[in-house]
Amino acid sequence: MIDLRSDTVTRPGPEMLQAMVQAKTGDDVFREDPAINELEAQCAALFGMEAALFCSSGTQTNQIAIKCHTQPGDEVICDADAHVYQYEAGGIAFNSGASVRLLAGDRGRINAAQVENAINPNDLHKPPSRLVCIENTSNRGGGSCYDFEELKKIRSVCDNNKLAFHLDGARLFNALVAKNETPAQYGALFNSISVCFSKSLGCPVGSVLLGTEAFIAKARRVRKILGGGMRQAGYLAAAAVYALDHNIERLATDHLHAKQIAAVLYNCPFVQTVLPVETNIIIFETKNTTAKELVAQLKNASILCHAVAPDRVRFVLHLDVTEAMVAAVIQKIQSLQF
Ligand SMILES: *Cc1c(COP(=O)(O)O)cnc(C)c1O
């Protein structure tokens, strides 16, 4: 089976499992888990931010961040394709009681002018604009990366209007590798950052939220309220420490594999268009067939992928997709007929 449905399908290899087994653990609610303390310190140092909090998922880190930045009735500004809006089960309303202003960005990326135009005036009819959330890379944008200069402009708009700025960096490491950027650049720009270890970095579980000491103290309390206080979760944190040390640079291989497959898709008779491939995600539009039919045909050939819209298919490259598997996928798509 070649599983291109998501980069969440990876399983820890022997070395990561070995690191997990050897973890020194304790009760993290008492702050006594050495492996979690190590991961949180390592992440904070890497991003040049004051503190970090290990959580069970990227949904949890994002939702905690939104809760900490807003009061009920405040408004959150984000792209209409944002994970925080599309895929977190209505959590912004459920957890924070906040309103959302959706912007029509370019492949999941909003710009400073759009943000500026979306800020509500100080008018009692309007919800107070409080927070801007951006996603890098953008999942529904096909793994698109932000231009860092645009992010700086959004930061100025936030500063001028007293808005907080949160980064959903579920796949931030893909963006850093693709654009040759550093975690510290991002740490200096955002009030809070969420990064996932269970995506491209190959861990079974885990995300980290970053911010100031005061922000993370509040976040730790919200995590407890959400039932997210963990005990000997250092076994999971050890996987994340292993991934930071071993699985970042190799993301370039996933990006190369995505470009190799996309190059073939461009010339397939059943492909209308392929979104620009910047990282490990390929999204293409079908022609003469439906996404569902294409997914079914590939499944018959033991290749799994997702229909993300009636005419859109997504392939995601990751740690467990080898060069031989990429060759097999290319061979199969070249042989498909509709
Ligand atoms: C996967 C993902 C998340 C977090 O998802 P979880 O399944 O809760 O870990 C957040 N944002 C983006 C953009 C994602 O792709």
pLDDT digits (tens, 9 = 90+) for 78-123: 999 999 999 999 999 999 999 999 999 999 999 999 999 999 999 9
What are the pocket residues of ligand 1 if the criterion is a CB atom closer than 6 Å to any ligand atom? 57-59, 62, 83, 135, 139, 168, 170, 196, 198-199, 207
Q: Checking DSSP bridges between strand 312-316 and strand 306-309, what pairing results, if any? A: antiparallel
> Which one, of 174, 268, 173, 198, lies nearest residue 10 by Cα?
198
Atom of ligand 1 nearest to the CA of 196: 9
Whole-prediction pTM value? 0.97
Assigned token pair, 281: 């995600």
Q: List beta partners, residue 207.
A: 55, 196
Q: How many residues does the chain have?
A: 338
> Which one, of 307, 335, 311, lies nearest residue 4 by Cα?
307
The predicted structure's pLDDT at residue 235? 98
Residue 199 has pLDDT above 90, yes or no: yes
Element (H, E) at 116: helix 112-118
Atom of ligand 1 nearest to the CA of 88: 8
pLDDT digits (tens, 9 = 90+) for 228-285: 999 999 999 999 999 999 999 999 999 999 999 999 999 999 999 999 999 999 999 9
The predicted structure's pLDDT at residue 201? 95
Dihedral sign, Cα of residue 21, residue 321, residue 170, residue 250: positive
Residue 41 has pLDDT above 90, yes or no: yes
Atom of ligand 1 nearest to the CA of 59: 8
Distance (Å) of CA 335 to CA 229, 308, 329: 50, 23, 10
User: Is 3.90.1150.10 the CATH number for 250-335?
Assistant: yes
Topology annotation, domain 10-246: Aspartate Aminotransferase; domain 2 (3.40.640)
CA gap 265, 42 in Å, rounded = 40
Q: Which residue has the least CA distance to atom 10 on ligand 1? A: 58
Q: Give the residue, out of 59, 172, 280, with the most ligand 1 atoms within 8 A of its beta carbon, to mutate for a pocket test.
A: 59
Residue 338 has pLDDT above 90, yes or no: no
> Which one, of 166, 199, 183, lies nearest residue 57 by Cα?
199
Residue 168 has pLDDT above 90, yes or no: yes
- The string of DSSP codes covering 190-245 is -SEEEEESSSTT--SS-EEEEE-HHHHHHHHHHHHHTT---SSTHHHHHHHHHHHH
pLDDT digits (tens, 9 = 90+) for 286-329: 999 999 999 999 999 999 999 999 999 999 999 999 999 999 99
E-state strands within the chain: 2-3, 51-55, 75-79, 99-103, 129-135, 164-169, 192-196, 207-211, 271-274, 281-286, 303-304, 306-309, 312-316
pLDDT band at 149 (very low <50, low <70, confident <90, very high): very high
The predicted structure's pLDDT at residue 236? 98
Q: Where are the domains of the chain?
A: 10-246, 250-335
The predicted structure's pLDDT at residue 200? 83
CA gap 75, 73 in Å, rounded = 7
